[in-house]
Amino acid sequence: MNNKEYAPLPERIRPTSLDDYVGQEHLIGEGSILRKMIESGNLTSFILWGPPGVGKTTLARIISLTLERPFYTLSAVNAGVKDVREIIEKSKSTSLFNKHSPILFIDEIHRFSKSQQDALLGAVEDGTITLIGATTENPSFEVITPLLSRCQIFVLKSLEKTHMDILIDRVVNKDNLFFDKEIEIEQREALYRYSGGDARKLLNILDIIIKSEWGKPNIVINNNIVINALQENITAYDKSGELHYDIISAFIKSVRGSDPNGALYWMARMLEGGEDPLFIARRMIILASEDIGLANPNGLLLAQSCFEAVHKIGMPEARIILSQTAIYLATSPKSNSAYMAIDAALDEVRKSGDLPVPLHLRNAPTKLMKELDYGKDYKYSHSYPGNFVDQDYLPKEINSKIFYNPSDNNRESEISKRLQLQWKKYNNS
What gap in Å lies between CA 167 and CA 200, rounded to an integer?
10
149 and 230 fall within a common domain: no
219 and 263 fall within a common domain: no
220 and 323 fall within a common domain: no
Query: The domain that contains 120 carries what CATH number?
Result: 3.40.50.300
Higher pLDDT among residues 4 and 130, named by residue: 130
Task: Let me know if residue 118 belongs to a domain.
Answer: yes
State the pLDDT confidence band at 321, using cuts at 50, 70 and 90. Answer: very high
pLDDT digits (tens, 9 = 90+) for 116-146: 888 888 888 877 888 888 888 888 777 888 8
pLDDT digits (tens, 9 = 90+) for 65-111: 888 888 888 877 677 778 888 888 888 776 555 667 888 888 888 87
Task: Let me know if residue 101 belongs to a domain.
Answer: yes
**Cα dihedral sign for 47, 53, 57, 59?**
negative
Higher pLDDT among residues 36 and 215, named by residue: 36
Whole-number average pLDDT of the chain: 84
127 and 175 fall within a common domain: no
186 and 140 fall within a common domain: no
Task: Let me know if residue 3 belongs to a domain.
Answer: no
Q: State the helix-helix crossing angle for 277-287 and 298-313, rounded to 10 degrees.
A: 170
Task: Let me know if residue 168 belongs to a domain.
Answer: yes
155, 187, 208 - which closes a domain: 155
Other CB atoms within 10 A of residue 105 CB: 23
Closest by CA to 155, choosing from 296, 61, 49, 58, is: 49
What's the average model confidence in pLDDT over 279-294?
94
Choose the weakest-confidence range: 35-49, 91-105, 227-241, 373-387.
227-241
Query: The domain that contains 189 carries what CATH number?
Result: 1.10.8
pTM of the model: 0.56
195 and 227 fall within a common domain: yes
51 and 136 fall within a common domain: yes
State the pLDDT confidence band at 150, using cuts at 50, 70 and 90. Answer: confident
29 and 117 fall within a common domain: yes
Residues 254 and 330: beta-carbon distance below 8 Å:
yes
57 and 149 fall within a common domain: yes
182, 210, 237 - which closes a domain: 237
Residues 255 and 334: beta-carbon distance below 8 Å:
no
Other CB atoms within 10 A of residue 112 CB: 27
The pLDDT value given to residue 95: 59
User: Quick check: 232 pLDDT over 60?
Assistant: no
Task: Let me know if residue 4 belongs to a domain.
Answer: no
Task: Let me know if residue 86 belongs to a domain.
Answer: yes
119 and 35 fall within a common domain: yes
User: Quick check: 234 pLDDT over 80?
Assistant: no
Count of structural domains, the chain: 4
The domain containing residue 111 runs over which residues?
23-155
Task: Let me know if residue 349 belongs to a domain.
Answer: no
Task: Let me know if residue 346 belongs to a domain.
Answer: no
Higher pLDDT among residues 274 and 295, named by residue: 295
149 and 30 fall within a common domain: yes
49 and 87 fall within a common domain: yes
SS3 string of the chain? CCHHHHCCHHHHCCCCCHHHCCCCHHHHCCCCHHHHHHHHCCCCCEEEECCCCCCHHHHHHHHHHHHCCCEEEEECCCCCHHHHHHHHHHHHHHCCCCCCCCEEEEECHHHCCHHHHHHHHHHHHCCCCEEEEEECCCHHHHCCHHHHCCCEEEECCCCCHHHHHHHHHHHHHHCCCCCCCEEEECCCHHHHHHHCCCHHHHHHHHHHHHHHCCCCCEEEECHHHHHHHHHHCHHHHCCCCCCHHHHHHHHHHHHHCCCHHHHHHHHHHHHHCCCCHHHHHHHHHHHHHHHHHHHCCHHHHHHHHHHHHHHHHCCCCHHHHHHHHHHHHHCCCCCCHHHHHHHHHHHHHHHHCCCCCCHHHCCCCCHHHHHCCCCCCCCCHHHCHHHCCCCCCCCHHHCCCCCCCCCCCHHHHHHHHHHHHHCHHHHHC
205, 237, 269 - which closes a domain: 237
Query: The domain that contains 272 carries what CATH number?
Result: 1.20.272.10
Choose the weakest-confidence range: 26-35, 138-147, 212-221, 410-419.
212-221
pLDDT digits (tens, 9 = 90+) for 354-410: 899 998 888 887 887 788 788 888 999 999 999 999 999 999 999 999 999 999 999
The pLDDT value given to residue 169: 84
